[in-house]
C-alpha cells in the first residue's frame, strides 16, 4: 500500500508494519561519526559524467519533488570510488525540514543539515531495469549532498522557480536542460557505506556516497520547497510537504569508509 508518509499516524516509526525491511541490518540513513572512521587509501575518487545528461520532467509524488532523467543509455553515470560498475543517473530529489528546523536524513556527529539532495543511480551493467536493480544488494548508488542555509544558490533557482507548477501530489511538468552538476560542492571527498532506500519499500540495495562538503542555499529558496503539498488537488485537506526525512537508523556493525 502507498499510504505511508511522515505524519504521526503513517510516519517512519510505523513503516515496519507494512515494510518489515525497516528493521533490517543495512537501513539508511545513519549518523556518520567522522572521528570513528578509517581513511581508506584503496578508495579512489568518485567520477561524475553528467555532461550529456538529459533531464525530462519535475514531479511531486506526495513525498518529495523529483527531477527525472533519460536513463536509456550510459549518457550520465557515476563511477569509481566504492563502485565496481558505472551507475546510470535516474532521478534526483530532496528531503527537508519545517521552518527553521533541520531536515537532512544523514547526520554528522549528531548534527543535521537543513536539507539533503539525493542523486539516484542504478547498475544497468548487471540489471535490466531500475526496478530489478532497486531490489538487488549492489543495484543502486545514491550520491547524497547536504544543504546548509546562507546565501542564495545561483542555480537552485531553476528548480525553486518550477515548484509552483508541481504544488500538488501527482503533478508533473516538463523540465528540460537541467544539469545537476551545478548543484555539486567544490570537493567530491566523501563517506561511503552499504545501506538502503530511506523511504518504503526500504530495499537494502544502496551504496551510499555522501559528500563531506555541503552546498549553501538561502532560507528563501528552502521555503519554496515547504510550499509543496503532499495532498492532491482534488483533496479537501491541504497538508504541507515538510519534515520528509527518516531519522538515523542503527549501524548494526557496518563500516563507514572515508575517501582520502
Residues that bind ligand TPD (CB under 6 A): 91, 118, 120, 131, 134, 142, 197-199, 201, 203
For residue 187, the minimal CB distance to ligand TPD (Å) is 21
Q: Considering the complex, state which of residue 121 and residue 224 has its C-beta at the smaller distance from ligand TPD.
A: 121
Site for Zn ion in 118-137 (CB under 5 A): 118
* Residue 229 CB neighbours (<10 A): 19
Residue among 55, 148, 139 at smallest CA distance from 93: 55
Q: Is 161 in a helix, a strand, or coil?
A: coil
3-state secondary structure of 219: helix
- Smallest gap from Cβ 36 to Zn ion, in A, equals 24
**Residue 63 annotated among the catalytic residues of the structure:** yes
- For residue 120, the cross-strand partners are 91, 142
Q: Per-residue x/- mask for Zn ion, residues 101 to 120, rule CB under 5 A?
A: -----------------x--
Q: Nearer to ligand TPD by C-beta: 94 or 178? A: 94
Rounded to whole angstroms, what are the CA distances from 223 to 19, 25, 90, 220?
A: 31, 35, 26, 5
Nearer of residues 118 and 121 to Zn ion, judged by Cβ: 118
Cell of residue 182, nine digits: 551545478
In whole angstroms, how close is the CB of 42 to Zn ion at the nearest point?
28
Q: Which three cell numbers stand for residue 28?
A: 539508511
Tell me the catalytic residues. Answer: 63
Amino acid at each position: 500500500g502507498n499510504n505511508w508518509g511522515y505524519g504521526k499516524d503513517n510516519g517512519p516509526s510505523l513503516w515496519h508494519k507494512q515494510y518489515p525491511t525497516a528493521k533490517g541490518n543495512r537501513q539508511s540513513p545513519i549518523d556518520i561519526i567522522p572521528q570513528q572512521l578509517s581513511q581508506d587509501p584503496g578508495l579512489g575518487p568518485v567520477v561524475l559524467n553528467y555532461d550529456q545528461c538529459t533531464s525530462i520532467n519535475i514531479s511531486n509524488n506526495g513525498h518529495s519533488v523529483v527531477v527525472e532523467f533519460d536513463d536509456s543509455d550510459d549518457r550520465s553515470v557515476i563511477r569509481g570510488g566504492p563502485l565496481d560498475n558505472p551507475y546510470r543517473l535516474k532521478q534526483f530529489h530532496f528531503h527537508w525540514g519545517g521552518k527553521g528546523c533541520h531536515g537532512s536524513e544523514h547526520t554528522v556527529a549528531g548534527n543535521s543539515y537543513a536539507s539533503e539532495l539525493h542523486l539516484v543511480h542504478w547498475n544497468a551493467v548487471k540489471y535490466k531495469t531500475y526496478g530489478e536493480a532497486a531490489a538487488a544488494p549492489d543495484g543502486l548508488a545514491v550520491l547524497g549532498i547536504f544543504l546548509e542555509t546562507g546565501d542564495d544558490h545561483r542555480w537552485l533557482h531553476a528548480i525553486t522557480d518550477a515548484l509552483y507548477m508541481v504544488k500538488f501530489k501527482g503533478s508533473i511538468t516538463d523540465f528540460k536542460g537541467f544539469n545537476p552538476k551545478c548543484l555539486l560542492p567544490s570537493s567530491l571527498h566523501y563517506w561511503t557505506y552499504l545501506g538502503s532506500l530511506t523511504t518504503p519499500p526500504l530495499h537494502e540495495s544502496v551504496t551510499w556516497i555522501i559528500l563531506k562538503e555541503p552546498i549553501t542555499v538561502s532560507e528563501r529558496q528552502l521555503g519554496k520547497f515547504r510550499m509543496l503539498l503532499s495532498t492532491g488537488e482534488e483533496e479537501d485537506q491541504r497538508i504541507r510537504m515538510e519534515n520528509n526525512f527518516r531519522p538515523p537508523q542503527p549501524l548494526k556493525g557496518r563500516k563507514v569508509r572515508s575517501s582520502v
